[in-house]
Structure 1
Amino acid sequence: MKSIMTKENNIDITILEELNRFIQQAESVLIVAHIDPDGDSLGSLLAMTSFLKEIGKDVYPIITDEIPQKYSFLKGIDEIPDKYDENELKIDTAILLECPNQNRINGPAKYILDNCKIINIDHHRDNKIKGDFNWVDSSKSSVGEMLYEYFEYIDFQLSKEIAEYLYVAILTDTGRFRFTSTSSRTLQVASRLIDFGADPRKITDMIYYEMEPAAIVLTGKVLNSVEYMYDNKLCIMTLNRKMVADSGSKKSDAEGLVDFTMFGKGVKIGVFLKEVNDHQTKVSFRSKNDLDVAEIASKYGGGGHKNAAGCSIDLSLSETKEKLIKTFEELLG
């Protein structure tokens, strides 16, 4: 396998060698998924956790935010702690998965002390983390795909569970293999994960077609908020706290709803606004072709990919909406 690495996936082997060196030297490892976890961060965290346990490391995965119900079928996900005793936790290495900046790490940062080695693995082009080892590759569809490349390089035999975790990561971060980040190599990797035991029908059904009734009610409320502007080039949908309460759902049930903003004919940019409180709004952006929403998100302290990005704005829901409409006027008006 090692002899064909650069031909198939265009990765410098020295990167994989260096990653392996850091992992082999580690003894006690904290694994961090970003806030508002999605399929890539969760699947990658579970895959790395299983791998490190199998090779004899002391492993401390952590997820501090609510986990979307759609991922509850993943084995072991309900066993991931949301905190540790700072006085008892002794780690020498922290692995940050898909955490492009300090804000996306949030709470777990307190466990990472100055003498801790940091392994930073991400596919966001705007990653600002300065770790002891940094593997940032925006050409890859997902961190899940990147981890597969590492596992293949070291000839690690994937279990069915790890194959499932990685398939979830890739499936969700490619929008079911629809986004432009989906390469021929991405499909090769997905095929190999199926060979290792990942069941594409089961995984797709559990994530996209087994929604809780409350989540469907919430989806309906969000769809009812739809607004089209600038000759239907801009679509805005909103989620406020009342919608969550009235539907009996959880805020994590809104994960992925931003994709509905791009379903309309002629839409170039989609915006999904999520009310945090009276003075803060989370924003998710989607776009088509060469419209770079990561650049827009960066103006508000966020970031992401060219066609999928996000940020948090310290304004009310209505004020955020008004501000963004003006932002897009010059671009789409």
Structure 2
Amino acid sequence: MTSQVLDLIKKYDKIIIHRHTRPDMDAIGSQMGLYHLIKDNFKDKMVYKVGDTNNLVYKTTMDEISDSTFSNALSIIIDVAVSELVSDSRYLLASEVLVIDHHKNDTNIENSLFFQQSDYTSACEMLANLARVEKLEVSSEASTYIYGGMVTDTGRFQYIDASNASRVFSNAAFITSFNPDIKDMYDFLYTEDLEKKLVKQMFSNFELTSNNVAFRKNTHEMILESKLDVFGVSRGMVNLMAGIKEVPIWVSFTEDLENNKILAEIRSRNIIVVDIAKKYGGGGHNFACGASLKDFNEADLMLKDLNERVLENGNIK
């Protein structure tokens, strides 16, 4: 399949790279890692990156391009396979579409070549393996982005198991042989302003279900008071409940008033929860996933399912 991906890239002089909305580091890392891989190996190609931005857009800006740019172009959608989550739907104007994703969701993007490796820990790991298999030239810039996505989507290599550990570390070793700026990437990812650090105290409290599922409900008023954006609260605060021996599953529900949704972010330790996210229209990884819910009543239904999942796995303390 990697040769088919490379053949499709070779076919087009214009390539536009998309990823999912509200990007995390794997989305940015894979988008920018792929951008640099193409530029490193096919210097005459015109390559653009598009999408919304947030505070995880590391050392780049997105390109503002016209509809006409998509004419006779290849659109590559990476780290997402469902149309409603793609940032910039103008891939529909492109001549062909390539979807590259590691999540377990099928794609609903029609007339596309779908390159899926759902046993891979990140889209960035897929790129590392693609570069290795196809013997691509890899710049320091490409390796920095790809390594950043691998680190974050594995939770600094915590969320891997014996079945894929050897492959993951082999791909990490391969990509780090090209001199990524690890220190700068780590500083970007794991240091923060004092003000934000203090704001986290607002979100440090949580409740427990009968089976020790930790949860928070973050209202619109809380978000306004924190001066953070919805994504910063939803994705950024969920792991304040992580690392507690008695808590096998933790979830945050965050009110997104602009889109009239409740954003659910689910995390777990050794209990598969992605099927529960899918039940509510979401998806993601086995142990880290999410969904957009209608209201807090639906959040309570999800919480009931998560509480029962602990019991099913015999994780009662």
TM-score (norm 2): 0.87
The one of 325, 328, 332 aligned to 2:303: 325
Structure 2 residue identity aligned to 1:321: A
Cα distance in 2, alignment partners of residues 323 and 30 from structure 1: 40
The one of 169, 174, 184 aligned to 2:166: 184
Structure 2 residue identity aligned to 1:67: N
Cα distance in 2, alignment partners of residues 173 and 242 from structure 1: 30
- Give the secondary structure class of the aligned counterpart of 1:112: helix
Cα separation, partners in 2 of 1:122 and 1:265, compared to 1, 3 Å: same
Q: Where does structure 2 lack aligned partners over 5 or more consecutive residues?
A: 312-317
Please give the per-residue CA displacement for 1:14-41, whole angstroms capped at 9, x wherever unaligned.
Answer: x111111111002211111101201101
Q: How many percent of aligned residue pairs carry the same amino acid? A: 24
Structure 1 residue identity aligned to 2:82: N
Match of 2:5 in 1: 19
Indicate yes or no: 2:139 matched with 1:159: yes
Cα distance in 2, alignment partners of residues 188 and 139 from structure 1: 15
Please give the per-residue CA displacement for 1:86-110, whole angstroms capped at 9, x wherever unaligned.
Answer: 24543521111011311211x5113
- How much does 1:235 deviate? 0.8
Match of 1:132 in 2: 112
Cα distance in 2, alignment partners of residues 189 and 330 from structure 1: 37
Match of 2:33 in 1: 47
- How much does 1:312 deviate? 0.4
Cα distance in 2, alignment partners of residues 156 and 88 from structure 1: 27
Structure 1 residue identity aligned to 2:47: V
Indicate yes or no: 2:82 matched with 1:101: yes
Cα distance in 1, alignment partners of residues 114 and 91 from structure 2: 19
Structure 2 residue identity aligned to 1:45: Q
Q: Where does structure 1 lack aligned partners over 5 or more consecutive residues?
A: 1-14
Does structure 2 conserve the Cα–Cα contact (< 8 Å) formed by 1:40 and 1:172? yes
Cα distance in 2, alignment partners of residues 25 and 207 from structure 1: 36
Match of 1:62 in 2: 50
Match of 2:315 in 1: none
Cα distance in 1, alignment partners of residues 241 and 198 from structure 2: 17
The one of 62, 67, 86 aligned to 2:67: 86
- How much does 1:60 deviate? 1.9
Does structure 2 conserve the Cα–Cα contact (< 8 Å) formed by 1:101 and 1:129? yes
Does structure 1 conserve the Cα–Cα contact (< 8 Å) formed by 2:276 and 2:302? no
Cα distance in 2, alignment partners of residues 275 and 193 from structure 1: 38
Cα distance in 2, alignment partners of residues 206 and 240 from structure 1: 28
Aligned pairs, how many? Answer: 304
| Aligned 1:125-274 pairs, distance under 5 A | 125-130=104-109, 131-180=111-160, 183-208=165-190, 210-224=191-205, 226-232=206-212, 234-254=213-233, 255-274=235-254
- Give the secondary structure class of the aligned counterpart of 2:65: coil
Please give the per-residue CA displacement for 1:71-120, whole angstroms capped at 9, x wherever unaligned.
Answer: 45x33x2x213x53324543521111011311211x5113422x621111
The one of 290, 302, 308 aligned to 1:310: 290
RMSD between superposed Cα atoms in Å: 2.2
Structure 2 residue identity aligned to 1:253: G
Does structure 1 conserve the Cα–Cα contact (< 8 Å) formed by 2:283 and 2:289? yes
- Give the secondary structure class of the aligned counterpart of 1:236: strand
TM-score (norm 1): 0.83
Please give the per-residue CA displacement for 1:161-191, whole angstroms capped at 9, x wherever unaligned.
Answer: 1110011010000000000266222112222
